[in-house]
Structure formats: C-alpha cells, structure tokens
C-alpha cells in the first residue's frame, strides 16, 4: 500500500503560501543561511534540494523549473553558476536543518537552514558580478 505524503501547510492560503516559499528559497540561495521556524525550514529544505539537483544539469527546462520556485533571476544565476558547480560531487543532502531551541515569545521551535557542505566565499564576488550584469541587461 502506498502511503500518502504529508505536505507542510501554512496559514495564509494557497497563493500566500506559494509566495512565502518562493521568498524563503530565494533568500536562502542569496544569503546561504536562514533562521526561521522548524516547519518553514523543513519545507524550504525540500524545495532547495530539488532546485540544486536541477541546477547541476541546467538545461532550458531546468531553468524554467527553477524560475517557477525562485522570485528573481539573480538568485537563479547564483544557484546555477556558483553553488551547483561546487556541489557536483554530492548526489543529495545539500542542506541541513539545525535546531535552535524554542522562541520565548510564542513557544515556536526555531531552526536554521544551512548548506551541509562548504560553499566558498567566492560566491559573494560572483554574486555582485551576476547581479550587476542582470541589472545592466534589464
């Protein structure tokens, strides 16, 4: 018997949840680390894992799939040009969720999403270069 998957849902409604996930994924790709609730970190992790796998092959169809889940093209370029080449030897498990305890104000479980393997600091230089190129083309 096939078991049903359990999708993590949030409060805002379908469109708001989709946009929330797109923003979280884009910010994680741009900054490389994200502090949020445990539920949001786990949901973001599954999307990021799929996107990095697609970014390794970077065909036209894969770029369209990545743009569907990321807000801006600069994050897509960083994912394809900077992050994916550094993770080519890794097959899966690109990210990890680290528990950070309980938030005092509302009791929510905090967690941070990080790269499981080191992504070098070169990406900051390349990030500025890629963002500058995209802005000049627009």
Residues contacting residue 65 through CB under 8 Å, at least 6 positions apart: 51, 54
Q: In a structure prediction context, what are the per-residue pLDDT tens digits for the chain, which is 138 residues long?
A: 677 777 777 888 888 999 999 999 999 999 999 999 999 999 999 999 999 999 999 899 999 999 999 998 999 999 999 999 999 999 999 999 999 999 999 999 999 999 999 987 564 444 455 555 555 555
Other Cβ atoms within 10 Å of 125 Cβ, number: 10
- Tens of pLDDT, residues 106-119: 999 999 999 999 98
Alpha-helical runs (H) found in 38-116: 38-57, 60-69, 73-78, 84-86
Fold of 15-137: 50s Ribosomal Protein L17; Chain: A, (3.90.1030)
* Neighbouring-strand partners of residue 96: 114
- Residue whose C-alpha is closest to residue 83's, from 72, 95, 71: 95
- Tens of pLDDT, residues 53-64: 999 998 999 999
Which two tokens mark 121?
């600091």
């Amino acid at each position: 018997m096939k078991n049903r998957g359990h999708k993590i849902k949030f409060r805002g409604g379908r469109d708001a949840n989709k946009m929330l996930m797109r923003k979280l994924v884009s910010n994680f790709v741009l900054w490389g680390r994200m502090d949020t609730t445990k539920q949001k970190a786990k949901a973001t992790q599954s999307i990021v894992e799929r996107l990095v796998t697609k970014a390794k092959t970077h065909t036209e169809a894969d770029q369209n799939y990545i743009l569907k889940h990321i807000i801006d093209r600069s994050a897509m370029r960083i994912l394809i040009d900077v992050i994916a080449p550094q993770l080519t030897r890794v097959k899966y498990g690109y990210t990890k969720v680290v528990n950070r305890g309980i938030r005092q104000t509302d009791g929510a479980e905090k967690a941070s999403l990080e790269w499981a393997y080191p992504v070098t600091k070169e990406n900051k230089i390349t990030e500025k270069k890629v963002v500058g190129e995209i802005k000049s083309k627009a």
